[in-house]
Amino acid sequence: MDLRQFDMPRYLSVLPLFAALQPAELLRLAQGCMLQRYARGEAVYRTGEPCEAFHVVVTGQVKLHAIAPSGQEKVIELVGPGNSFGEALVFTDKPCVVNASAVTDSLLLGVRKETMFGEIAREPRFALRMLAGMSRRLHGLIHDVESYSLHSGLQRVIGYLLREQSGSDGGEGVSTVSLPVSKATIASRLSITPEYFSRVLGELESAELIEVDKRHIRILDAQRLARHPMQ
């Protein structure tokens, strides 16, 4: 992608967060945004650094993660194209509390803190949309805590596959999940080991519920898969 030809106002207009803005507002907002490429593994920000912008993933994939003193990594969230992260951090005026890193070569759009505050002052509805986005993320985190506390590793894997399925793939009840990152990263996101994740996929494939082809997983019958932990 040639960044010189990137139409920033047009791109902003298709994002849910900015869709209600008028052309003049989009143009003003675009002037306070920045595009930056990140190579696979490159840090967007680290714990303890100041947070001067929130980001939207244009292409690629970003992981939000924490690192224990032992060096073990816990993936908190995976953020794909069209989704944003870091909104809440810019309001706290405190250092970042998590790390953000590109897990594939990525292009990110950064919205500077002062630009966001300016739009909130001009248009209160913008603040409401920001709050709605942060509320959805909080709801997701609560769902994660509930899942880790009450659901088995098998149920977590099945739940992930059912959430990520991309629709019909040519057969009745057949859909596909294409893992956007490595199985180890997905396993960390689900708070299980990579070995256990692979073992569960093998068990589900043996039960003829899925077919695994590297990072592509075909769900042969979503209803049977959903019932599997209770069978």
The structure tokens listed for 83 are 């989704």
Rounded-to-integer distance, Cα 88 and Cα 134, Å: 7
- Which 3 state secondary structure label does DSSP give 159? helix
Give the model's pLDDT for residue 147.
66
Per-residue pLDDT of the chain (231 residues; tens, 9 = 90+): 667 788 999 998 888 777 777 888 888 889 889 999 999 999 999 999 988 888 999 999 999 999 988 888 999 889 999 888 888 888 887 888 899 999 999 999 999 888 888 888 887 777 777 777 677 767 767 777 776 666 788 988 998 898 888 654 544 568 889 888 889 999 988 889 999 999 999 999 999 999 999 889 999 988 889 888 754
Residue 23 DSSP code? H
Characterize the bridge pairing of strands 53-59 and 84-85: antiparallel
Give the model's pLDDT for residue 168.
47
Rounded-to-integer distance, Cα 7 and Cα 35, Å: 11
Give the model's pLDDT for residue 19.
74
- Going along the chain from its start, the domains and CATH numbers come out as 3-149 (2.60.120.10), 152-230 (1.10.10.10)
Give the model's pLDDT for residue 209.
93
Give the model's pLDDT for residue 104.
94
Residue with tokens 């977590």: 156
Cα-based distances in Å from 18 to 147, 182, 186: 32, 32, 30
Backbone φ and ψ of 188, nearest 5°: -65, -40
Give the model's pLDDT for residue 151.
78
- Which 3 state secondary structure label does DSSP give 188? helix
Give the model's pLDDT for residue 132.
74
Tell which phi-psi region holds residue 161, choosing left (phi > 0), alpha (psi between -120 and 50) or beta. alpha
Q: Which of 18, 25, 94, 97 is nearest to 56 (CA)?
A: 18
